[in-house]
Amino acid sequence: MDPAHRPKLKSAFKKARVIAPLHTAGPVAATPDGSKLVTCVGEDALLTDVKAGVEICRFAGDTESITSLCITPSASHLLLFTSSLSLRIYEIPQSPNPQAKLVKPVRVVARAHDAPVHVCKADPTSTYLASGSADGVVKVWDILRGYVTHLFKGHGGVVSALAFNYPFDPSSVVREQKMQLITASVDTRIRIFDLSAAAARASSGSKPEAVLEGHVSVPRGLDVSPDGKWLVSGGRDSVVLIWDISSKASAAKKSSKGKGKETEFSPTLYKTIPVLERVEAVGLLHPDEDLAGAPSGAGKLRFYTGGEKGLVRIWDAREGNVLFTLGQEQDEAAEDQEEQRQIVDAIYLPATSTIVSVHADQNILFHSLSTQTLSRQLIGFNDEIIDATFLSPNLPIQASAPSALSDTHVALATNSSLIRVYSTSSLDARLIAGHSEIVLCLDRGAQGRVLASGSKDRSARIWAPIRPRPGEEGAAVPDWRCVAVCEGHAESVGAIAMSRKSFSGDAAPSGSGSDSLRFMFTGSQDKTIKMWDLSSVPLTAPEEGEDAQVVKCKSLTTHKAHDKDINSLDVAPNDRLLVSGSQDRTAKVWEIDYVVTSAGVRGELRLLGTCKGHKRGVWCVRFGRAERVLATGSGDKTVKLWSLDDFTCVKTFEGHTNSVLRVDFLNAGMQMVSSASDGLVKLWNVRDEECAATMDNHEDKVWALAVSSDESTIVSGAADSVVTFWQDCTEEQQVEKETQRAKLVEKEQDLQNYLALHDYRNAILLALSMAQPGRLHSLFASLTSSSVDDDDDSSAHAKTKTPSITGHPAVDEVLRTLPGTDLVRLLRYVRDWNAHAKTSAVAQRVLHAVVKLRAAEDIARAFDEDAALAAATAAAAAPAEDDTFGKALPAEPLSVEGRGTTALKELIDSMIPYTERHLTRMEKLLQDSYVVEHLLSEMDDGLFGELGDDDEDSGHMAMDIDRAVEIAA
C-alpha cells in the first residue's frame, strides 16, 4: 500500500453508548407526559429518558427488593416501598442530563406497614399517597409531611388494587372538595371510602361507604372516570364490571347524618363484560381520546384491558365489544412462552395517547392509540449476549459505499429464541420470533439488508425487513420477517456465514432482477459444513396481511469438516474462500466453487490447507479484508495471524488473560480488535504485535463483537447483559494532546519571562499550578546565590536593603500571602526536598520562612480547605455508594474545620526525623569547624609569631594568609 494513502492507526476508543439492563423485575411507572420511565433493576430503581434512551439517574435503595412504586401526577416525586417495609420518597430530577450520583430520599419512613406493600397510588392533586399491604391495611399518607392521614382496615387479605375518585366537573367554577378512595382485595370485594374531613370525624370514618360484590376472583385493576360517574374493575375471573357510582352525589348532599348517608349511597352494576382472559390491568380512556376509526365524544365510555394473552384490547363499555387490539397475537406458542408474554401491568398516558404495557418477560411496549401501532419497544433484560451484527434495513439497493443509512441497527442473539434488533441511536427495539430454541449465531448479508441466524433447533433462518407502504413513514426499527429456512443439520447450528458479495450477478445491481443473494454456509455440532443456495431468497419481506411464502433453501453440498464442534465460519471478501474454526484446535481453509448455469446452481468445497498451532479450541476465524491473511482467536488466550499462501503462522498476539472469543480486522488489515473471556476488548497493531488500546466496560465473557462499515464504531456484547458502543476518538485525543502541549509551552515561556523580570510572585504561583517542584527548587536555590552576589556589592547599598528570610523580600511576601491550597502543595514539596541532603538546605529555608511568616492557625486552616476541596472533587467524580436513612439531607455544606488535621500531622511527622538528622549533621559540622579554626589559629601563632612584630611586610603577609584561610573556611 502506498505510504501516503495508508490510513492512520487508531489508538483510542471511547464509550459512546451502553445498552444495559433496564428492567429485571418489579413495578414500573411513567411520568404523565411519557418522557421518563422508572424501572427496577435488581434492588435499584432507575430513571430513564425514553426518547434518548439514556439513564438519567439511579435512586439510592436500601438493598432490599422494591415491591411497589408510583410517580405523582405532577412528576415531582417518586414514592416506593421495599421488602424492608419502608417508604422512601424521592424528588425526581427535572434536568434531562445524566447524573453519576445516586439520588437520596428526601424522606424515609422506616416501617410504613406491618406487611409488604404491593400496590400504591398517588391522588390527582399529588398531595396524598394510598398504599395497600398484604395484611389488608390501607394507609393514606401526606406526601410532603410524611404522616398518615387515614387508616382503613377490614380487607379480607392482600390489597390488590387502589384508585382515587376526585370528580371534576368542567361546567362548575369550584371543584367539588370530596375525595374517595376505592380499594380491591383478595376477598373479591371492592370498597369505597370517603376521605373528607367530615367523614373522618364521624364514628364510622374508617368504615367503607359501600362494598361492591360482583367479582369471583381477585380484582387486579380499578379506574374511575374524570367526572366521577363510572367505575371500571377487572380481575382474574376474566370479566370487567362497569359500575355507576354517581347516585351518591345527590343523596350525600341532601343527607346530614352519617347513617342516612350510608343507607342512601348504593352504587349499581351497570354492565358485565366477559373478556375471556385473566385481566391484570384495566383503565378508562379519556372521553376526548381520538381513536383511529372510532368517534370520540363526551358520551363515549371506552376502556382498555391487558392480561394473560399479552395483548392490549380497547373496548366500548356500552356495547361490550372490542374496538381494536394492540399487539401481535402469536399463533402457537409453548406454555412457558405464554406465561412470559402475558401483561403484568398497563399504564395509560392521555397526554401522548399511549398505552404502556409491561410484560412478564421484562419487555415494555408503547402502543399508540391514534395510529394503532407499536410506537416504541424497550427490552428490559437481554440475559447473556452471544452474538451481534450491524444491519442496514433502509439501505437502497443501488448503494454500495458506506452511507448515512448504513449500520443504523444492530441485531443481538441472546440466551433466547427471540432475536433483538436495536436502533443504534436509541433504546427502541423489536423482537424477531421464529426459532423454537436459543439462537446461537448471527450474520448479515447484502451489506446488512438481510439477517441470517443459526439456532439450537438445528435450523438456520434468513430474515428480511418489511418495507413500509409507499407514502408511509417507516418505523424507527422496522419489523423483520422470516423469508427462508435452511433445515438439514443433525445438531444445533453454531456458526453461520453469508456470501460477502451482495449479488449473484457480476454486473452492478440495477434492481432489475440481478439483486439476489448468492449462498450461505452453516456449521454445526454434527461437525459438518453445509452450503445453501440463496438465489431464490428475496431481499424484502411481504407486507402485513400478505401471504408470507417462506423459501425452503436447498443444500448444495455437505462436508464433514472437523473432528469436533464447529465454532466459527467466515467467507473471504471475494467469495472464493471459506475458513472454519473448530474445537479440534485447527482452522481449515476451503476453496468455494459456486457456478450459476442455465440448468441451475452448482456449489462445491475443496480443502486447501489446515492451520495448526493453537493449543486449545479455535473460537473465531476472520479473513483479512485487504491482504491474504487469516486471523484466529483461541482458548489458549492468543490471536494468531496466518498466511494464506502456505498456511503458516506469521504473528502471535498475546495479552488476554483468558480465551479469545472474537476477532476482527480494522484499518485495511493494519489493526485487529479482539474480545475475550476476561471481559476486555483489545485493539492490536498488526505490524509491531502490540496492544494499542484496551476497552473495559464488561464484567463477564465478551461473546459478541461487531465492527461498523466505516470502522468508526465497535459494538461489544457480553454475558453480563451489557452492550457497549465504542466510538473512535483517536483524532479527538490527538487534538487534545496538541492543545495541552501548546498550553504547556506557553506556560514554560511565561515562567522564563517571570524569572527574567524577577517577578517572583507570578513565577512561584505558575510553578505551583504546573506542578513542577524541580523548577520551584531551582528558583529558591537561585535566590541564595543572588543574595550572595548582592552582599558583594557596596556596604552602603547593603545597609539600605531590608532583611529577608528567603533571600528576597518579594518571595517573603509571596509566602505570606500564598492561598491555602497552594501553601499545602508547597509544604508537600518541602517535605520531599527535606528527605534528601542535597535539597534539604532549600527545604529548611522555605520551611523556616513559612513558619516565621504564617501563623499556626493559618497553616491548619489551609490544610482544612485542601481536605474539603479534595473531598468535594472525589464526591463529584464518583457516585455515592453509601445510603443515609435520615429524614432529610442537610442543605448547607459541611464544616471544613478540622478536616485537614490528619494530613497536617502526617506532614509534620514525616518532616521531623529528617530535620533532626540535618540538625545533627550541622552541629557536627559546626564542631568540626571549631577544631579547624583552633588548628589554624595555633598554626598562625607558631609559624609567624617568632619573626618579630617590627617586620611590616611580614605583618601584611600574615593578614593576607588569615584572610585567605577565612574565605576558604
Return the percentage of the chain with pLDDT > 70, whole number. Answer: 81
Alpha helices in 511-644 (DSSP H): none
**CA distance to 109, 837, 915, 918, 966, per residue, from 921 (Å):** 66, 10, 10, 5, 22
Largest CA distance in the chain: 144
* Rounded average pLDDT over 958-963: 49
Confidence of residue 838 (pLDDT cuts 50, 70, 90): confident
Asked whether the predicted pLDDT for residue 203 surpasses 50, the reply is no
Picking from 25-39, 61-75, 109-123, 327-341, which range would have the lowest pLDDT averaged per residue?
327-341
* Listed residue (585, 652, 590) closest to 612, CA to CA: 585
DSSP 3-state of 80: strand
Selection from 252-261, 640-649, 806-815, 880-889 with the highest mean pLDDT? 640-649
Picking from 80-94, 597-611, 765-779, which range would have the lowest pLDDT averaged per residue?
765-779
Return the CA Rg of the chain: 40
Output the DSSP codes for 794-810: -HHHHHHSPP-SSS-HH
Confidence of residue 258 (pLDDT cuts 50, 70, 90): very low
Q: What is the pTM of this model?
A: 0.77
Mean pLDDT score of the chain, rounded to an integer? 81
Distance CA 816, CA 798 (A): 24
Q: Which pLDDT score is estimated for 579? A: 93
Distance CA 792, CA 795 (A): 8
Three-class SS string for 355-407? EEEEECCCEEEEEECCCCEEEEEEECCCCCEEEEEEECCCCCCCCCCCCCCCC
Residue pLDDT, tens place only, 871-911: 777 766 554 334 333 333 343 344 556 666 788 888 888 88
* Rounded average pLDDT over 311-316: 89
Distance CA 467, CA 542 (A): 7
DSSP 3-state of 562: coil
Edge-to-edge, what's the strand order for the sheet holding 671-676?
Answer: 660-666, 671-676, 680-685, 690-696
CA angle 363, 369, 375 (to 5 degrees): 45
* Rounded average pLDDT over 263-273: 78
Residue pLDDT, tens place only, 770-795: 887 887 888 878 776 555 455 444 44
SS3 breakdown of the chain: % helix, strand, coil, rounded to 5?
25, 35, 40
Higher-confidence residue of 885 and 631: namely: 631
DSSP conformational letter for 225: -
Confidence of residue 72 (pLDDT cuts 50, 70, 90): very high
Asked whether the predicted pLDDT for residue 73 surpasses 80, the reply is yes
Q: Which pLDDT score is estimated for 473? A: 56
Distance CA 700, CA 288 (A): 51
The three grid cell numbers given for residue 504, joined into one nine-digit string: 449473484
Cα torsion angle, 328, 330, 334, 335, sign: positive
Q: Which pLDDT score is estimated for 253? A: 37
Interacting residues of 700 by C-beta distance below 8 A, sequence separation 6+: 384, 679, 718, 719, 720
* Angle between helix 773-791 and 837-853 (nearest 10): 80
Picking from 134-138, 419-423, 774-778, which range would have the lowest pLDDT averaged per residue?
774-778
b/e string for 352-362 if b means 16 or more Cβ within 10 A? Answer: bbbbbbbbbbb
**Residue 264's beta-bridge partner residues?**
none
Number of C-beta neighbours around residue 511 at 10 A: 10
Confidence of residue 472 (pLDDT cuts 50, 70, 90): low
Chain centre to alpha carbon of residue 216: 45
Question: For cell 486471523, what's the residue?
Answer: 631
Confidence of residue 122 (pLDDT cuts 50, 70, 90): very high
Distance CA 497, CA 570 (A): 5
Q: Which pLDDT score is estimated for 26? A: 86
